[in-house]
Amino acid sequence: MKSLKFKLYSHKRNQYLKRCINAAGVIYNHCIALHKRYYRIWGKHLSCAKLQAHIAKLRKRKAFWQLVGSQAVQDVCQRIEKAYQLFFKHHKKGVRPPGFKKVKKYKSFTLKQAGYKFLGGNRIKMGNKVYQYWNSREVEGTVKTVTIKRTPLGELFIVVVVDSVDEPQIKVETSRIAGFDFGLKTFLTCSDGSKIESLQCFKQGLNAIRKACKQLSRKQKGSKRREQARKHLVRQYEKIANQRRDWFWKLAHELTDRFDVLCFETLNLKGMQRLWGRKISDLAFGEFLQILEWIASKKGKLVVFIDQWYPSSKTCSNCTHVLDSLDLSVREWRCPSCQSVNGRDENAAQNIKTVGASTVGLGSVSQAQPATAV
């Protein structure tokens, strides 16, 4: 399965889709209210099947709700059911149940088997209206779902989920394997000795965001100028996200061109975010890994993740001696067994490479010559 995202042309007929998203938001809030009322009266969870049947009856009497197709309404109920199941499973970890959302901030609705038709080229028919989109790539495979998504700026996108084409075989072109250690000061430290510094896009754009926030807070609520200031703030955030994403795509292409197998350590990013907050969000390592895995699958390369609890920083890459403890402030340490001096990040990258190579059975590839630095 893969997702393709296309931007809709700006047109006055798009107002109809925005009203459909608003209707989906109203239905969502009504379903949340029903869940709360049902639990208050009966002390039990309202099942998805009962909720869908009840909403289907109400939809016949509410004209505004009929803007959204029946399958889209079922998908709203399924989203809520999934959120509640996650809450029941992980509520001890701080996961909260789904709550009400502002209709203006509701983002999307999803169509499954019906309600849309691709007319070829860059046109799609939804309901009785035909919409045009920026056809950046061909839609290959069987279409599973079509989602209409609204951004905070009011722009509309089509997200198409299709069956993925046959996965390419793993290609060994450069005969190289590399391990990478993620860090706060250095974005990635490679096992060949090269280091990749982060752009820190949010840190660079922080002054512009603070200025935009001040301008927004000074505007009168409900005024046109406040809406303009809100959109200006959203554009500042989108600029940062686009800069970061563009750099991620370029870096992922560069790494997959240099190496056939890329090894990383599984990280508890949510726990790290609780400790270091905005720093981890700015680095966005999880988003980078998603992009890297996508590009690696397209090029026939392999991304390997080693165990989260493997002591990569405390293990000597020369003699495999493991330290009892190693404080985070220690950036370089001497092995008590072989007396070799190990840099914290460089040593961890070498260990990640060794463990990753043994995991996929590529011990011979791990002995390849180092590549040139980024």
Euclidean distance between CA atoms 206 and 86, whole angstroms: 34
Q: Each residue of 329-359: pLDDT tens digit?
A: 777 878 887 877 877 888 888 888 888 888 7
The CA–CA distances, whole Å, from 195 to 186, 201, 261, 346 equal 7, 18, 18, 9
What's the pLDDT tens digit per position in 179-229? 998 888 889 989 888 899 988 899 899 999 999 999 999 999 989 999 999
Quote the Cα angle for 216-221-225, to 5°: 55
Cα separation, 85 vs 81, whole angstroms: 6
Residue 242 confidence (pLDDT) above 60: yes
Mean pLDDT of 6-24: 93
String of DSSP letters for 264-280: EE---HHHHHHHHTHHH
CA pair distance 34, 13, nearest whole angstrom: 33
pLDDT computed for residue 174 by the predictor: 52
What dihedral angle (degrees, nearest 10) is formed by the CA atoms of 36, 70, 64, 128? 160
Q: Could you give the 3-state DSSP secondary structure of residue 225?
A: helix
Percent of the chain with pLDDT over 90: 48
pLDDT value at 361 more than 70: no
Mean pLDDT value across residues 303-316: 85
Who wins on pLDDT, 367 or 15?
15
Both structure tokens of 275: 């400790």
- Confidence band for 92, pLDDT divided at 50, 70 and 90: confident
Angle CA 304–182–237, to nearest 5: 110
Burial (Cβ within 10 Å: 0-12, 13-18, ≥19) of residue 238: middle
